[in-house]
Structure 1
């Protein structure tokens, strides 16, 4: 299959999916990038020789910076709900992929990018990696409410309430990353981790992953994320005065003005 937004490759028993929208900081086009990632996962899922998958972004600045905001302007609430549910399908595909999926975070993992990284089974982060979900500041909620199942409650509250980023060292300390390495070692470390996974008997590893996901469902993950997706849709489509003001900043001043209006007050209040 020919892909527009991603590159699919393999190295031995390890499959690689690389988001290649470096000029847009690897932001996702929901009707294209999301679909392509799911398709690539499905193709790898059919392969018995591919034992682990690495998901990463092109370049050194960003793993993925979420939705490409140019894709959601002037969207109806009904269409927004479809888009949010399609995004959920992406997270679910990663979360429930037959093989373990490793996130190789090569820079900023923001909004949907952060959720995508947390949906992976294992995380290798470069030293300059950052995890952030600042979208609450412009009238959206977490796209995949998975962090409550991964780390401590007070950390979760601060992350989701304020939208401040977590550094690579913070991710390691909080159990959100398995390894933190220099940028130059990210690819080789992720590949080596995938190769270690390939040494485990395939059937045992796949059944263990299935059991682990069932444990999270038993703790309420599926019901929580589905209910939260509706809240996210309602919040995005609310069209409140402060949301309108931020969107006006984006239209009139571009992304730099938008980010300053959204994030500037938080930098000054640290």
Structure 2
């Protein structure tokens, strides 16, 4: 498969997937970028010489800022549910990848970008990284309900219910990242962590990861994400006055106008 939005590379036993849409802050094109990432993961899964995988974004401003909303068109409720389930497939592909996956968060990780980072097994963040799930402000829900399984309840509630971004120091305090490093050292440190993983016997490493994922499922992860997918479909498909106002702002003024209408009330507080 020809890759248009990502670059796939290798460095010794480490596979790298780099989102290359820097001009769009590494936002994903629906049915394009996500499918390329899933395909790259599947290709690496068949390789016994690739022992760990790193996912990152190009440039220094953004890891991934979610879906490129200017490319999203209106869909029927049935099509919408299929798109949201496909979105979930992206996170599951990372979460259940045979090899350990490291997120090298090089800037803003927003919405689907935040979920993509949090679905990785390990996370290294630059000191400029920021994590945000602002979807609730425009009538959507977090695409992958993973944080209740990663950190404590009050922080999860505030993060999901208000939608404010948190910086690298707060991510570290909440245990959402393994390391915070300088932006200049991010690539080197991610490669070093992946090479450290590669020293572990392959079979033991993969079986341990499988056992860890089974533990999360026993705690209810699979059931929770399934129910959440349906809730997200209902919310995104709802025809509400304030959602129509946001859609109008996007149509008439583009992304900047949309964000201004969505986020200005929160900035004033």
- Provide the TM-score with structure 1 as the length reference: 0.98
Structure 2 residue aligned with 1:241: 241
Structure 1 residue aligned with 2:43: 43
Note if contact 2:70-2:255 (Cα within 8 Å) is conserved in structure 1.
Answer: no
Structure 2 residue aligned with 1:201: 201
Which 5+ residue runs of structure 2 have no aligned equivalent?
none
Structure 1 residue aligned with 2:79: 79
Within 2, Cα distance between the matches of 1:194 and 1:132? Answer: 25
Structure 1 residue aligned with 2:184: 184
Within 1, Cα distance between the matches of 2:208 and 2:71? Answer: 38
Within 2, Cα distance between the matches of 1:56 and 1:73? Answer: 27
Q: Is 1:159 aligned to residue 136 of structure 2?
A: no
Greater mean deviation of Cα atoms: 72-81 or 111-120: 72-81
**Could you list the runs of 4 or more consecutive aligned residues of structure 1 that deviate by over 3 angstroms after TM superposition?**
none
Structure 2 residue aligned with 1:144: 144
Structure 2 residue aligned with 1:124: 124
Q: Is 1:229 aligned to residue 229 of structure 2?
A: yes
1:242 Cα deviation from its structure 2 partner: 0.2
Structure 2 residue aligned with 1:109: 109
Greater mean deviation of Cα atoms: 141-150 or 244-253: 244-253
Q: Secondary structure at the match of 2:8?
A: strand
Q: Is 1:264 aligned to residue 235 of structure 2?
A: no
Q: Is 1:25 aligned to residue 25 of structure 2?
A: yes
- Provide the TM-score with structure 2 as the length reference: 0.99
Note if contact 2:70-2:254 (Cα within 8 Å) is conserved in structure 1.
Answer: no
Note if contact 1:80-1:237 (Cα within 8 Å) is conserved in structure 2.
Answer: yes
1:71 Cα deviation from its structure 2 partner: 2.9
Within 2, Cα distance between the matches of 1:78 and 1:164? Answer: 31
Note if contact 1:127-1:182 (Cα within 8 Å) is conserved in structure 2.
Answer: yes
1:113 Cα deviation from its structure 2 partner: 0.3
Within 1, Cα distance between the matches of 2:36 and 2:73? Answer: 22
1:87 Cα deviation from its structure 2 partner: 0.6
Aligned length: 269
Within 2, Cα distance between the matches of 1:56 and 1:76? Answer: 33
Within 1, Cα distance between the matches of 2:28 and 2:254? Answer: 18
Q: Secondary structure at the match of 2:86?
A: helix
1:257 Cα deviation from its structure 2 partner: 1.4
Within 1, Cα distance between the matches of 2:196 and 2:36? Answer: 27
Note if contact 1:30-1:86 (Cα within 8 Å) is conserved in structure 2.
Answer: no
Which 5+ residue runs of structure 1 have no aligned equivalent?
none
Within 2, Cα distance between the matches of 1:237 and 1:185? Answer: 42
Structure 1 residue aligned with 2:3: 3
Q: Secondary structure at the match of 1:124?
A: strand
Q: Secondary structure at the match of 2:53?
A: strand
Aligned residues: CA RMSD: 0.7
Q: Deviations over 1:28-73 (max 9, x none)?
A: 1121111110000000000001000000011111100111112322
Greater mean deviation of Cα atoms: 70-79 or 97-106: 70-79
